[in-house]
Structure 1
Amino acid sequence: MKSLRSALLATALLAAPFAATPALAKSAAPTAQPAQSEHDQLFALFAKSDEDSLKRNPLSALFRGDTRYADRLGDYLTPEYNNAERKAAEDELAALLKIDRTKLSPTDQIAWDVFKYDRTSTLKGLTPEILALTDTRPLNHFFGFHTFYPTLASGKTGIPMKTVADHENSLKRHADYVKLIDRSIAKFREGKANGVLETKLTVRNMIEQLDTQLKLPVEQSPYWEPVKGMDPALPEADRTRLTADYRKAVGEGIYGANTRLRDFLRDEYLPAARDSVGLSQMKGGEKLYSLAIENTTTLPYSAEELHQLGLSEVKRIRDGMEQVKNEVGFKGTLAEFFTFIRTDPQFKRKSSEELTQRYYDIGKMVDGKIGEYFAVLPKTPLQIRPYEEFREKFEAGGSYQQGTPDGSRPGTFYFNAYDLPSRTTPGEVTLYLHEGAPGHHFQISLAQENDKLPAFMRFGGNTAFAEGWALYAETLGYDMGFFKDPYSRQGTLDDEMLRAMRLVVDTGIHAKGWTRDQAIEYMLANSAMGRTDATAEVERYIAIPSQALAYKVGALTIQRLRREAEAALGKQFDIRAFHDQVLNTGALPMPVLEAKIRAWIKATKRG
């Protein structure tokens, strides 16, 4: 995400804002302290905010490779946590407004703007009215600790599992997980009593996820991996004790909590859950969806505006698909062409191993071109892996898990090998460009690696920028010459169509009352997606409203800014410099990004 501007923080040591001053000799006259510059005030605020946030959100620290708070998960879903987050946002916003923005450098002004946006957005989500709609639906099949934690606890994500202390921290996190699951049950009950309910669809999926996990013997679960991989150099007495503690913490603690959650969802919550799938059909859901759109797109769109934008984009992309169909000489309708791609054996992979090798080959192909488009490359390595079996059924076609800033844990491009016959080959290059390089891996790794940025810009962000960049990265396949083959071009059009359809389908479900089946059929009618993928996509939109809207909104913004720069700069336009400008100050809200790129265009023309 960033090649980052060394200019951002030439003095970014971020000294502690409340450091004690040295004691003075009694006979000495008081010495006036020089006033802190606006830059120093700003970055002192950033440093304090980040440190305070890491204490409240220990997992954020853990994923950075910071193990100071590795013995806890956090007290999420408690009034204490929400109150602390709210007070922090209020205090930090007040402190920011005392810093004179006009006296800051242009880059520091961007940081000021992003911090203000971030703190203001946080407060909007922490009102009692909104928390009554969100905290009371703490889990769903797409986003929840019950699916996230097994991978975290496995020790295969770079979380330290070497020393006795590492294992004891892991066991303490297990205890926190149990508390979190029990709090989730209590929150679901609170929502049920107040008429704020999840959908039957998401609840059934969660029950199936939990059933799948609980069927595994403890020794075959991800939770047992730290025991299998325990360092034989550890004292035998410690290894024996830790093994017994893991067996109890997993078998009685985690499995017990997951059983309680599964039984509660199945026996108590499911009968009361909503038959409808749209957020606007839930109590308070219409207001929540409007806020979600604002949060994910960073722009003041209405659901209707996005729906119409989606319909327009779907039509444009269909025209491109018609051209591909004609180019390959397919005789039939576009719908029949989609069926041909879904079903013809030439578009299938025979095994997970073959699919893995294909992604390695694509990676090498991209590596050969990437230097022509980017001046700065991530130091963090990128690895390629299929999803684990326990979660693959409910995952998207691919995703990215960030590495650590120091590169000790690589970034991971996950692909989905579940139900291979339903998956097709034309979109493979596009998926790699999006999730791997130069998509999420570049955007996230370059940001993290740039210690000149304040931490909230290195590690934070927004969906419109992150997913908009990744979708824009797909289109670089045209520049790199990867889509000359018509079927590869169909694959990238199909993926672009997916993001256009999301505008239509997400707003259709959550603002217009569309059903699950109606949404699936719309996606099948307008793309070559298989039914398995279309179903997973629609159920994802049901679970996390508005997130899917951000892809197209962000990508269209970046594409428009590139066209503006090309037109204004002519021969002065440098694609590597443009990409650097987009990425080198982190994941910006769209209005901040637009202002930055336009200022860069003016400066380049003058320069």
Structure 2
Amino acid sequence: MRRYLIPVAVSLSALAAPLAAATPAEQLSQVFRDSDEALLKRQPLNALFRGDLRYADQLGDFFSDAASEANFRADKTDLAALARIDRTRLNATDRIAYDTFKRTTEIDMAGLTPAMRRLRDVRPIDHFFGVQTFYPDLSSGQGAAPFKTVADYENNIKRHRQFAAQLDVAIARFREGMKTGVVQPKLIVRNVIDQLDLQLKGGVEGSAYVGPLKNFPDSISAADRARLTAETTAAVRDAIFPAYTRLRDFLRDEYLPVAREGVGLVNMPGGLALYRYLIESNTTLPMTPDQIHNLGLSEVARITREMEAIKTKVGFTGTLPQFFDKLRADPAVKFKSKDEMRDEFLSVGKRVDLRVREQFSTIPKTPLEIRAVPEYREKTDAGGSYNQGTPDGSRPGVFYYNSYDLPSRSKVGSETLYLHEAVPGHHFQISLAQENTALPSFMRFGGNTAYVEGWALYAETLWPELGMETDPYQRFGGLDDEMLRALRLVVDSGLHAKKWTRDQAIEYMLAHSGMSRTDATIEVERYIAIPGQALAYKIGQLTILKLKAEAKAKLGDKFDAKKFHAQVLMTGALPMTVLEAKVRAWIAGDGV
């Protein structure tokens, strides 16, 4: 999944003053409210993505020491405020909120210690989650920022100038890392340079930033249109593009020569300690690199056996790698046009909608749209991604499909991709949490990767119940997608703990899956850019599947999929330990 927002620090800042609320439940709610408001002030884009426009003229501080220190102090204050509340006097739902807040705050705080910051803050940009990847989309008129009023356009211009300033701060942080040898791999640097070159090549008029100027609302006068067009164009021309150029030139001329050759964190001073932290922060479980690697090898072996069975079923007599090659080259499973690719996903969505109420008692109100990945980022983007909507439905959730290098894209797996990114995957999970106003804001809008991506991968396993993958090739595509997540355990840990090379990782993925070299390259370079994130998918999915198996075994005929899914979904994204405790308590109560 790809969501174009600054990753939310779920642990928020609480006020230090004594709580005035009388009961523990009221005290807890007050902590959540106060700390959420403090978060929105520190990270105003989080408010913008929610549709809260109070801070819409502010971009926020992404890279400075002051920003990291403020987040660390907020975490410390949060834990102190939480410790003053008597957990034993809370009801079951509030205890879940308490435990989630505590666990996520502890994990977040561990990543903001001086030792961790020396390894993270001086590498402020990468090609996958760098600010230069999401800001154009935010400002395009198709992203989270609204363009309905004169004030919306004026806020956008203010953010543009702040964005340019942030890029200069990023350069300063990179320079700090150059002094200690804590630098990005050359591969990441070259990819960022390519992204900046592409955006500069199009010029102001060819950029995403002029999108809002082509679609003024009727309510904005001709005079205001002329003024806003001139001011927006000037901000892009005189602030953003010069900042792009400064960053590009710095990375090319000064940083690239000293960037590291080894792509994994293990090749960077302190990198292995950082990787161990990133495993826990992404999976919410204290696993070691070796445990991750060995689990991945086991899952690869299991899925390979299921793939072999389908290969035999369709009458192919060659080896599994030969079957992969056949599917990569077979024109019968390729999209003939971008329009055909779009129509395929529209068709899948209609068929899923016919069955989804058999598995879920609550359906999101937020609408869903299906769009192609914008051209300016399609080369390095994933095959599919999701961008969340707003809780009030004014902005839809968007499932993005990637049509870059169309001959490399296959119809095989289109059904499972939709289940993951759209319904009942990310669109269901994120929308249902946001729409649930009974939850505190950090549970509505925050989350952890293991839950968010684990749910989406679990959603793929519902293909029988939703009438998908009845064709053996689509089922093979489903296995191929699951194989990707198993390969991630092996490859991510191989890169960052075992000194695997980029090419070694790509070849391993090609040997064990049907993905194209283009997709395998994008995937591996993603793991290089954001270590540990890709581990969360399989870990989260296996946790949910384990809990489902326990529920079925204990409840027997009383097991109700709708009730199970409600238990998993309706309290937002929980750390795995909290989710396990919640579902097991439900099972012990005979699934009522």
TM-score range with shorter-chain normalisation?
Answer: over 0.9
Task: Output the CA distance in 2 between the equivalents of 1:435 and 1:297.
Answer: 19
Q: Deviations over 1:72-108 (max 9, x none)?
A: 1102212221222111111111010110000000110
Whether 2:308 is the aligned partner of 1:322: answer yes
Whether 2:581 is the aligned partner of 1:578: answer no
Q: Counterpart of 2:475 in 1: which secondary structure?
A: helix
After TM superposition, give the deviation of residue 584 of structure 1 in Å: 1.1
Q: Deviations over 1:372-431 (max 9, x none)?
A: 000000000010001011100000100000000001000000010001111111110000
Task: Output the CA distance in 1 between the equivalents of 2:297 and 2:105.
Answer: 34
Structure 2 match to 1:246: 232
Within 5 A, what are the aligned runs for 1:398-547? Answer: 398-547=384-533
Q: Deviations over 1:122-164 (max 9, x none)?
A: 2111111111111110011111111111111112124221222
Q: Is the 8 A contact 1:342 1:528 kept in 2?
A: yes
Structure 2 match to 1:588: 574
Structure 1 match to 2:382: 396
Task: Output the CA distance in 2 between the equivalents of 1:384 and 1:325.
Answer: 32
Whether 2:74 is the aligned partner of 1:117: answer no
After TM superposition, give the deviation of residue 241 of structure 1 in Å: 2.1
Q: Percent identity?
A: 59
Structure 2 match to 1:387: 373
Structure 1 match to 2:209: 223
Mean alpha-carbon deviation: is it higher for 221-230 or for 318-327?
221-230
Q: Deviations over 1:40-67 (max 9, x none)?
A: 0000110001011000010000000000
Whether 2:214 is the aligned partner of 1:212: answer no
Task: Output the CA distance in 1 between the equivalents of 2:218 and 2:412.
Answer: 46
Within 5 A, what are the aligned runs for 1:306-385? Answer: 306-385=292-371
Within 5 A, what are the aligned runs for 1:87-102? Answer: 87-102=73-88
Q: Is the 8 A contact 1:17 1:44 kept in 2?
A: no
Q: Counterpart of 1:63 in 2: which secondary structure?
A: helix
Q: Is the 8 A contact 2:355 2:467 kept in 1?
A: no
Task: Output the CA distance in 2 between the equivalents of 1:266 and 1:457.
Answer: 41
Whether 2:582 is the aligned partner of 1:599: answer no
After TM superposition, give the deviation of residue 478 of structure 1 in Å: 2.3
Q: Is the 8 A contact 1:39 1:104 kept in 2?
A: yes
Q: Is the 8 A contact 1:394 1:536 kept in 2?
A: yes
Which residue of 180, 183, 189 corresponds with 1:197?
183
Whether 2:563 is the aligned partner of 1:563: answer no
TM-score norm. by structure 1 comes to 0.94
Structure 2 match to 1:51: 37
When residues 81 and 158 of structure 1 are mapped into structure 2, their CA distance, relative to the original with a 3 A threshold, is closer
Gaps of 5+ in 1: 1-15, 21-32
Task: Output the CA distance in 2 between the equivalents of 1:424 and 1:541.
Answer: 22
Matched letter for residue 261 of structure 2: D
Which residue of 163, 184, 195 corresponds with 1:177?
163
After TM superposition, give the deviation of residue 35 of structure 1 in Å: 6.4
Q: Is the 8 A contact 1:359 1:428 kept in 2?
A: yes
Q: Counterpart of 1:414 in 2: which secondary structure?
A: strand
After TM superposition, give the deviation of residue 19 of structure 1 in Å: 12
Task: Output the CA distance in 1 between the equivalents of 2:428 and 2:291.
Answer: 31
After TM superposition, give the deviation of residue 235 of structure 1 in Å: 3.2
When residues 205 and 18 of structure 1 are mapped into structure 2, their CA distance, relative to the original with a 3 A threshold, is closer
After TM superposition, give the deviation of residue 488 of structure 1 in Å: 1.0
Task: Output the CA distance in 2 between the equivalents of 1:245 and 1:333.
Answer: 61
Which residue of 249, 258, 283 corresponds with 1:297?
283
After TM superposition, give the deviation of residue 484 of structure 1 in Å: 2.5
Structure 2 match to 1:6: none
Matched letter for residue 535 of structure 1: T
Aligned-residue RMSD, C-alpha: 1.6
Q: Deviations over 1:181-234 (max 9, x none)?
A: 000011111101111010000100111111110011211211111222223542
When residues 269 and 17 of structure 1 are mapped into structure 2, their CA distance, relative to the original with a 3 A threshold, is closer
Q: Is the 8 A contact 1:562 1:578 kept in 2?
A: yes
Q: Is the 8 A contact 1:174 1:249 kept in 2?
A: yes
Matched letter for residue 460 of structure 2: E
Q: Is the 8 A contact 2:390 2:396 kept in 1?
A: yes
Number of corresponding residues:
579
Which residue of 50, 61, 72 corresponds with 1:75?
61
When residues 75 and 488 of structure 1 are mapped into structure 2, their CA distance, relative to the original with a 3 A threshold, is same
Q: Deviations over 1:319-373 (max 9, x none)?
A: 0010000000001111110101111111100111100000000000000010000
Q: Is the 8 A contact 2:412 2:473 kept in 1?
A: yes
Task: Output the CA distance in 2 between the equivalents of 1:197 and 1:256.
Answer: 24
Gaps of 5+ in 2: 1-13
After TM superposition, give the deviation of residue 236 of structure 1 in Å: 3.2
Q: Is the 8 A contact 2:21 2:27 kept in 1?
A: no
Matched letter for residue 237 of structure 1: A
Matched letter for residue 528 of structure 2: I
Q: Counterpart of 1:130 in 2: which secondary structure?
A: helix
Matched letter for residue 175 of structure 1: R
Task: Output the CA distance in 2 between the equivalents of 1:405 and 1:368.
Answer: 24
Structure 2 match to 1:10: none
Matched letter for residue 519 of structure 1: A
Q: Is the 8 A contact 1:158 1:408 kept in 2?
A: no
Which residue of 259, 262, 265 corresponds with 1:273?
259
| Bigger Cα Rg | 1
Matched letter for residue 201 of structure 1: L
Q: Deviations over 1:421-469 (max 9, x none)?
A: 1111111000000000000000000000000000000000100000000
Q: Is the 8 A contact 1:434 1:470 kept in 2?
A: yes
